[in-house]
């Protein structure tokens, strides 16, 4: 538990303070804000793989809800730290991100976390937690590489309105994907519980 806490704190410090401080006031583009919001899936993935335990449906829903809240809260903490660091570094002259963009980004964060939590729980139940974590790590690596090499070409200079639209549409798609997976997960728990 202490090791996990230290890892989370190190990630919050690295992405919430060090990177924005190094990059300067122009760092928080809409693309970066959406990427920061999606950091929640890094915390949701291992938690989802550990969800299929011996607890029944109410316990499973509670654990899923706690994992969802935790992953989104860490993402919000990182994003808040990045905004605060950017403002501090610019001596208060940096432009704050629009509230609508932050809201859409956090909705995307919650939807992505729910999709990853339910997907990893289903993988873990079908195979094993170790295989689920391995598949999710590979998927996150592919996503990171795509964002690093091609995503920036398309979204770096995107204004806030298209970024908000992207986040809202992405959230709707992820929720539509998550709900059937959640139903499968709960149906399987009810059959076993």
Question: pLDDT class for 175, splitting at 50, 70, 90?
Answer: very high
Is residue 102 classed exposed, middle or buried when 0-12, 13-18 and 19+ CB atoms within 10 A define those classes? buried
State residue 189's pLDDT score.
58
Q: Which domain range does residue 93 map to?
A: 2-192
- What pLDDT, in 10s, does the model give residues 36-67? 898 898 888 888 877 766 555 567 778 889 99
When divided into structural domains, the chain yields a total of 1
State residue 150's pLDDT score.
61
State residue 91's pLDDT score.
76
- What pLDDT, in 10s, does the model give residues 101-135? 999 999 999 999 999 999 888 888 888 888 888 88
The residue with greater pLDDT, 190 or 162, is 162
State residue 115's pLDDT score.
92
140-161 mean pLDDT: 64
* Burial readout 108-124 (b: 16 or more C-beta within 10 A, e: otherwise): bbbbbbbbbbbbbbbbb
């Amino acid at each position: 538990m202490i090791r996990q806490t230290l890892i989370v704190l190190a990630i919050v410090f690295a992405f919430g303070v060090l990177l924005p401080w190094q990059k300067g006031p122009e760092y928080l583009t809409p693309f970066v804000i959406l990427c920061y919001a999606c950091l929640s899936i890094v915390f949701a993935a291992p938690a989802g793989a550990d969800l299929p335990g011996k607890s029944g449906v109410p316990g499973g829903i509670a654990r899923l809800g706690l994992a969802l809240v935790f992953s989104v809260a860490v993402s919000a903490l990182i994003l808040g730290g990045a905004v605060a660091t950017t403002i501090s570094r610019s001596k208060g002259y940096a432009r704050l991100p629009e509230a609508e963009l932050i809201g859409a980004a956090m909705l995307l964060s919650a939807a992505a976390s729910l999709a990853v939590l339910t997907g990893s729980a289903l993988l873990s139940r079908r195979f094993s937690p170790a295989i689920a974590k391995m598949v999710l790590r590979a998927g996150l690596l592919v996503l990171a590489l795509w964002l690093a090499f091609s995503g920036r070409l398309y979204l770096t200079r995107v204004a806030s309105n298209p970024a908000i639209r992207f986040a809202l549409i992405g959230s709707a798609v992820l929720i539509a994907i998550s709900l059937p997976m959640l139903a499968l997960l709960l149906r399987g728990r009810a059959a076993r519980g």
